[in-house]
Structure 1
Amino acid sequence: MTSSVTTLNNYYQGKNAIHLVSWVEYSTGPPHQIKWTVQCKVSGEVKGTGVADSKSAAKEEAARLAIVALGI
């Protein structure tokens, strides 16, 4: 199964517009219970936000939500 991050990247690479996609990542909480928040931005506009225990899971969720929001 292809990840949502890969799907999103492939979509914009195919349009020669990968430069439009950016990610904002930050963590909160104590070191033993960190929560990651990742925002997927397209042309500077937030299209998806994911929150999870790992950065990769949060990024995957943000990409999934962006794909839905963009109708990809």
Structure 2
Amino acid sequence: MSKRQTTNRTALSNFLQGSGETNLLTWHDTVTGPAHHPVWTSVAIYKGEERGRASGPTKNDAREAAAGQALQSLRP
């Protein structure tokens, strides 16, 4: 059996849980383009400051990429 890979969102959540700050992360999601070809943009906001922004064909893809950026910006 293969080990399940940790997603960026899970890693970000785990990182913030370590300091009890999960409630300080919010998301702002927008969608543009036609219904048959949407482009989602997600912004990870931590303590009121943008820490990650990414776009993708699904909200999940956009949030996953933005979470990776946010995690990189928060890790020492």
Instruction: Kindly indicate whether residue 39 of structure 2 is the aligned counterpart of residue 35 of structure 1.
Output: yes
Task: Report deviation, 1:71.
Answer: 2.4
- Secondary structure of the 1:49 match is strand
RMSD, aligned α-carbons: 1.0
TM-score by length of 1: 0.93
Cα-to-partner distance string for 1:18-71 (whole Å, 9 max, x where unaligned): 111111011000111100000001001000001000110000000001111222
CA distance in 1, matches of 2:6, 2:61: 14
3-state SS of paired residue (1:60): helix
5+ residue gaps in structure 1? none
**Larger radius of gyration between Structure 1 and Structure 2:** 2
Calculate percent identity across the aligned residue pairs.
Answer: 33
Q: Secondary structure at the match of 2:45?
A: strand
Q: After TM superposition, which residue ranges in structure 1, 4 or more long, deviate above 2 angstroms?
A: none
Report what 2:10 is aligned to: 6
In the aligned structure 2, how far is the partner of 1:71 from the partner of 1:10? Answer: 12
Partners of 1:22 and 1:14 in 2: how far apart? 17
> Which blocks of at least 5 consecutive residues in structure 2 are unaligned?
none
- Structure 2-normalised TM-score? 0.89
Give the helix-richer structure, 1 or 2: 1
